[in-house]
Amino acid sequence: MQRALHIDPVKCTGCLQCEMACSYENEGLFNPSKSRIKVFTFHHEGRFAPYTCTQCAEAWCQKACPVDAIQIDAATGAKVIVDGRCVGCKVCTIACPFGTVNYNSVTGKVIKCDLCGGDPACAKSCPTAAITYVDADWTGIDRMRAYAEQSLAGTA
Helix (H, G, I), strand (E, B) or coil at 141: helix
| 1-52+116-156 carries CATH number 3.40.190.10 | no
For CATH 3.30.70.20, list the domain ranges present in the chain.
Answer: 1-52+116-156, 57-112
Q: How many CB atoms lie within 10 A of CB 124?
A: 15
Look at residue 127 in the predicted model and tell me its pLDDT.
98
Where residue 64 falls (left for φ over 0; alpha for ψ -120 to 50; beta otherwise) is alpha
CB 122 within 8 A of CB 115: no
pLDDT digits (tens, 9 = 90+) for 89-145: 999 999 999 999 999 999 999 999 999 999 999 999 999 999 999 987 755 545 545
Handedness of CA 50, 47, 43, 147 (dihedral sign): positive
Q: How many CB atoms lie within 10 A of CB 65?
A: 24
What's the pTM?
Answer: 0.83
Which class is domain 57-112? alpha beta
Look at residue 150 in the predicted model and tell me its pLDDT.
65
Look at residue 120 in the predicted model and tell me its pLDDT.
98
Mean pLDDT (whole number) for 10-36 = 96
